[in-house]
Amino acid sequence: MNKIKVFEKELSWITNSNIREFAEVAISRLPDYFFTVAASSTGKYHPAYALGNGGLVRHTKAAVKIANELLGIETFGKYSSEEKDLIITALILHDGWKHGENYSKYTVAEHPVVAADFVKKVNKDEKILANEQAERLAELIISHMGQWNTDRYKNEIMPKPNKSIQHFVHLCDYLASRKYLIFDFGDEFYLPENY
């Protein structure tokens, strides 16, 4: 599978060449399961388009598309070009480790922590982003769950968004997970076997 090609369109929305290169490297290192699993292991928390084979990628693409659309309107145009690129990259990578490092049948509660650590490791290995950029990207990913930041015992295991940009990433992910919001992919409906 050509993992980078899966997100070719979304990558084209990243204007900073270093951030785009980092996103490509990170995508290429995501676990294979990310490209085939459903967004919800139980089917309870995501719309029909995000279920079944490739559903997690479709959810991710929807979240990125929502972000790209919102960033184009005056209300959300306050973010800098670099911040917009980090938002797009964070949303591409936010659920990349949803089933953990050692594949679990169900969503791993701390998957945002795993994904944020992954971003830091990739950057430590490759030195593509400035350290501050990698830290900001990790912050966007680790807080993407918003108020759902606890484990099954109600222990807080990751931070809630506390900056406008973190709230924005959470909002895009949240909207892409609402069962009542239907997303029309048109000819771009993702199926793993096409890649």
**Domain ranges (residues) in the chain:** 3-194
Model pLDDT, residue 42:
83
Q: What is the pLDDT of residue 43?
A: 80
Angle at CA of residue 163, ends 162 and 168, nearest 5° = 105
| CA dist 86 → 4, 55, 138 (Å) | 17, 23, 10
Give the per-residue pLDDT at 167.
98
What single DSSP character describes residue 160? P
**Which runs of consecutive H residues, i.e. helices, occur in the chain?**
3-6, 8-12, 17-28, 55-71, 81-93, 111-126, 131-142, 164-176
**pLDDT recorded at residue 144:** 98
Task: Name the CA radius of gyration of the chain, rounded.
Answer: 15
pLDDT of residue 45: 83
DSSP structure string for 80-105: -HHHHHHHHHHHHHTTTTTTTTTT-S
> How far apart are alpha carbons 103 and 117 in whole angstroms?
17
Alpha carbons 95 and 31: distance in angstroms, whole number:
11
Task: Return the SS3 of 147.
Answer: coil
Residue pLDDT tens, the chain, 195 long: 999 999 999 999 999 999 999 999 999 999 999 999 999 988 888 999 999 999 999 999 999 999 999 999 999 889 999 999 999 999 999 999 999 999 999 899 999 999 999 999 999 999 999 999 999 999 999 999 999 999 989 999 999 999 999 999 999 999 999 999 999 999 999 999 999
Question: CA angle 7-5-67, nearest 5°?
Answer: 10
Nearest to 142 by CA among 121, 111, 106: 111
The pTM of the full predicted model, rounded to 2 decimals, is 0.96
